[in-house]
């Protein structure tokens, strides 16, 4: 009987810690920016996720602006830029290019969905 209780507690600890670790896991999303779109154009994460964006502007300089999370980052051509934030707000948020890159610049947007 005691053995079972010990085993049950051990299992709880193991599963508890696994769940804890996965909740704190960083979601890494690789993106590219090029005239005139981001790939992917839609990012979906869970509320509370730590998000690490690795964005590479492939053709010219671009920018990554995500106002709701106070992010405005320049993306020099050919360089992978890492942007980290915590998705601590639920909803749909628009991100956009913040460095003028040509006639399609103002339509260079995407969406972050935090659910």
State the nearest-atom distance from the C-beta of 65 to Cu ion, in Å.
10
Nearer of residues 31 and 114 to Cu ion, judged by Cβ: 31
Nearer of residues 101 and 112 to Cu ion, judged by Cβ: 101
Calculate the alpha carbon distances from 108 to 5, 83, 95 in Å. 58, 18, 9
Nearer of residues 15 and 106 to Cu ion, judged by Cβ: 106
Taking CB under 5 A as the criterion, the residue among 31, 51, 62, 69 binding Cu ion is: 62
Stretch that binds Cu ion, among 5-13, 42-50, 57-65, 83-91 (CB under 5 A): 57-65
Structure tokens at 18: 């696994």
Rounded Cα–Cα distance for residues 19 and 91 (Å): 24
Do residues 63 and 89 lie in contact, with contact meaning Cβ atoms separated by under 8 Å? no
Task: Say whether residue 96 binds Cu ion (CB under 5 A).
Answer: no
State the nearest-atom distance from the C-beta of 54 to Cu ion, in Å.
18
3-state secondary structure of 76: coil
Do residues 58 and 31 lie in contact, with contact meaning Cβ atoms separated by under 8 Å? no
Q: Which residues bind Cu ion (CB under 5 A)?
A: 62, 97, 101, 105, 108
């Amino acid at each position: 009987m005691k053995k079972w209780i010990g085993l049950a507690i051990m299992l709880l600890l193991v599963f508890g810690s696994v769940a804890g670790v996965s909740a704190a896991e960083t979601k890494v999303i690789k993106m590219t920016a090029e005239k005139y779109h981001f790939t992917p154009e839609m990012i979906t994460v869970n509320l509370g996720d730590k998000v690490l964006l690795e964005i590479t502007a492939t053709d010219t300089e671009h920018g990554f602006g995500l106002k709701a999370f106070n992010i405005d980052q320049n993306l020099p051509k050919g360089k992978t830029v890492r942007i980290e934030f915590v998705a601590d707000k639920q909803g749909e948020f628009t991100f956009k290019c913040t460095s003028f890159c040509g006639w399609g610049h103002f339509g260079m947007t995407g969406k972050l969905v935090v659910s």
